């Protein structure tokens, strides 16, 4: 395949055109703002699903399907005194599905303990740093961690639920260096990028469980793994998205050093490692690699049908569970599904996608809007390539490939097979599974621009090529949660803003030491 790039001559700069593209591309936030109703209920708002083949963290000879699911977007790390917690009235579910039909084959349900219980001391305002004694939290659940949330994990196959684990601990939030010191470096920033399990922080290690069933599980706060310049997109497609170095010959949105609208924010994360030997192996057709064998993965959140507010201010819930949010592939509901159907998508299952939502992949709105703004001629109809990626909306994973390279490892490309990153002849990343670090915004926009024939590749992106902090290369993979005391949302602490300030102003050496780690 040949690769070509868009230039200034193909960009129409009308306010109307920019507004139209911003309306569609502004949703390029994976699933952070996927539908009006889910925006009102952040505890059930799934942001990302990742699924990829690796090895068990405590049994390196066992191949597993890693699944990482994030919920509750834009978590403010310093949101004391309560900090973000998993909802105790939500059923969080990870589903293994038929990759061809979307039918559910296995379900893993997470239920979390009460947010009003689990305290050691109710006569204080502090949830962390003071329980039955005061001081830094040394171990998960110790006397200084006042509030501790636990959870259960249940697996259902064929209608028979089995409890896999109960009273499993979640780690504390990253309050800061004084309260949760084992998350952070001497300057108060979260330490991430562990190469092996022993390099993980103490709190994460203490809350990873290898269960008797062979399944491993972890749940707790993490850095938001997603990266994209959505603020620039919303600002009528600000020029920084297109070009950072005054040279478009190297690609539209491919310069790097853009502004990550998700840096510094946290999410709540649930992770599983399921032995590949315990999974079905079903046939499906890959959009780019033909006949394959594996599974589909998606996640849902459900609430009970009736919620009652009692005179004492406490809610009670009753009735059957009703699905209120779901997520498989990144970007589908946000970028392709019209406003008229976004809420309806969230309450249906993937088995209905081929009849209810296929039109949004086959005749997508987005390439037409790009054509209007850029003067291009991207295909807007008969997009069977997009149908094969998104319908049914489950992440398809070839479970026969063996472990795939991860971000930071040799051979990894954020573009997957477009960047030459393949494992056993198929893409190592999305749309064959999805790894942390897969640049799904650039991959999706490039696919929209290059299909359905793919005789040449037109690279389109947003100038964000990686997460602002390194992922771990071991379970639970997602980066350490940002510190409430100091994180990369600070005006001087991000790569983009910090470099600019250091290069343009004389600042106090002490600040330079704190921010850029350049200390005398």
Q: Would 165 be classed as within a structural domain?
A: yes
Q: Would 134 be classed as within a structural domain?
A: no
Query: For each of the chain's 520 residues, which pLDDT tens digit applies?
Result: 444 434 333 333 333 333 333 333 334 567 787 888 888 999 999 999 999 999 999 999 999 999 999 999 999 999 999 999 999 999 999 999 999 999 999 999 999 999 999 999 999 999 999 999 999 999 999 999 999 999 999 999 998 899 999 999 999 999 999 999 999 999 899 999 999 999 999 999 999 999 999 999 999 999 999 998 878 766 756 667 767 777 777 777 888 888 898 999 999 999 999 999 999 999 999 989 999 999 999 999 999 999 999 998 888 999 999 999 999 999 999 889 999 999 999 999 999 999 999 999 999 998 888 787 767 789 999 999 999 999 999 999 999 999 999 999 999 999 999 999 999 999 999 999 999 999 998 999 899 889 999 988 888 888 899 999 999 999 999 999 999 998 877 544 334 333 333 333 344 454 444 444 454 4
Q: Would 440 be classed as within a structural domain?
A: no
Q: Would 203 be classed as within a structural domain?
A: yes
For residue 394, give its domain range.
Answer: 28-113+149-229+263-357+376-404+470-489
Q: Would 106 be classed as within a structural domain?
A: yes
Q: Would 348 be classed as within a structural domain?
A: yes
Task: Tell me the whole-structure pTM to 2 decimals.
Answer: 0.90
Establish how many alpha carbons lie within 13 A of residue 191's alpha carbon, considering only the half-sphere containing its beta carbon: 17
Q: How many CB atoms lie within 10 A of CB 82?
A: 12
CB 263 within 8 Å of CB 369: no
Q: What is the pLDDT of residues 494-512, one digit of tens each?
A: 343 333 333 333 444 544 4
* C-alpha separations of 514 from 185, 263, 498, 508 in Å: 11, 18, 11, 10
Diameter of the chain measured on Cα atoms:
68
Secondary structure class of 300 (helix, strand, coil): strand
| Residues 109, 153: Cα–Cα separation, whole Å | 6
Q: Would 341 be classed as within a structural domain?
A: yes
Q: What is the pLDDT of residues 100-136, one digit of tens each?
A: 999 999 999 999 999 999 999 999 999 999 999 999 9
* C-alpha separations of 83 from 138, 168, 435 in Å: 19, 19, 28
Which has the closest alpha carbon to 442: 407, 413, 405, 411? 413
CB 78 within 8 Å of CB 51: no
Q: Would 80 be classed as within a structural domain?
A: yes
> What is the count of structural domains for the chain?
1
């Amino acid at each position: 395949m040949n690769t070509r790039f868009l230039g200034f001559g193909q960009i129409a700069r009308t306010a109307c055109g920019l507004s139209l593209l911003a309306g569609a591309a502004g949703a390029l936030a994976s699933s952070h703002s996927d539908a009006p109703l889910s925006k009102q209920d952040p505890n059930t708002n799934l942001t990302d699903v990742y699924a990829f083949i690796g090895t068990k963290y405590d049994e390196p000879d066992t191949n597993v399907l890693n699944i990482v699911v994030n919920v509750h977007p834009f978590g403010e790390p310093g949101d004391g005194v309560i900090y973000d917690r998993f909802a105790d009235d939500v059923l969080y579910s990870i589903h293994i599905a038929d990759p061809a039909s979307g039918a559910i084959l296995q379900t893993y349900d997470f239920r979390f303990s009460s947010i009003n219980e689990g305290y050691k001391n109710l006569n204080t305002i502090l949830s962390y740093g003071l329980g039955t004694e005061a001081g830094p939290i040394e171990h998960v659940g110790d006397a200084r961690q006042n509030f501790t949330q636990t959870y259960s994990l249940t697996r259902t196959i064929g209608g028979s639920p089995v409890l896999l684990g109960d009273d499993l601990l979640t780690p504390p939030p990253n309050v800061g260096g004084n309260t949760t010191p084992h998350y952070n470096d001497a300057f108060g920033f979260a330490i991430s990028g562990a190469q092996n399990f022993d390099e993980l922080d103490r709190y994460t290690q203490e809350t990873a469980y290898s269960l008797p069933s062979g399944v491993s599980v972890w749940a707790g706060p993490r850095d938001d793994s997603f990266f994209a310049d959505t603020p620039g997109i919303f600002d009528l497609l600000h020029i920084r998205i297109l070009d950072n170095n005054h040279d478009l010959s190297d690609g539209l949105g491919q310069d790097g050093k853009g502004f990550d609208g998700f840096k510094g924010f946290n999410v709540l994360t649930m992770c599983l490692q399921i032995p590949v030997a315990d999974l079905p192996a079903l046939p499906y057709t890959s959009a780019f690699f033909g006949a394959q064998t594996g599974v589909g993965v998606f996640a849902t959140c459900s609430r009970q049908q009736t919620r009652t507010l009692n005179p004492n201010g406490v809610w009670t819930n009753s009735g059957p569970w009703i699905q209120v949010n779901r997520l498989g592939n990144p970007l589908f509901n946000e970028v392709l599904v019209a406003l008229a159907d976004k809420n309806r998508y969230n309450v249906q299952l993937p088995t209905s996608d081929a009849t209810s939502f296929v039109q949004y992949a086959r005749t997508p709105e987005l390439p037409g809007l790009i054509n209007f703004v850029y003067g291009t001629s991207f295909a807007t109809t008969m997009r069977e390539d997009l149908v094969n990626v998104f319908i049914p909306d489950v992440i398809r994973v070839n479970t026969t490939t063996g472990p795939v390279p991860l971000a930071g490892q040799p051979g990894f490309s954020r573009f997957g097979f477009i960047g030459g990153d393949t494992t056993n002849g198929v893409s190592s990343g999305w749309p064959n599974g999805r790894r942390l670090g897969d640049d799904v915004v650039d991959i999706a926009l490039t696919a929209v621009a290059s299909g359905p024939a793919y005789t040449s590749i037109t690279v389109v992106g947003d100038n964000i090529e990686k997460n602002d902090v390194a992922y771990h290369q071991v379970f639970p993979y997602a980066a350490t949660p940002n510190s409430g005391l100091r994180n990369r949302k600070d005006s001087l602490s991000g790569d983009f803003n910090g470099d600019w300030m250091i290069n343009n102003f004389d600042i106090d050496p002490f600040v330079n030491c704190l921010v850029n780690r350049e200390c005398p």
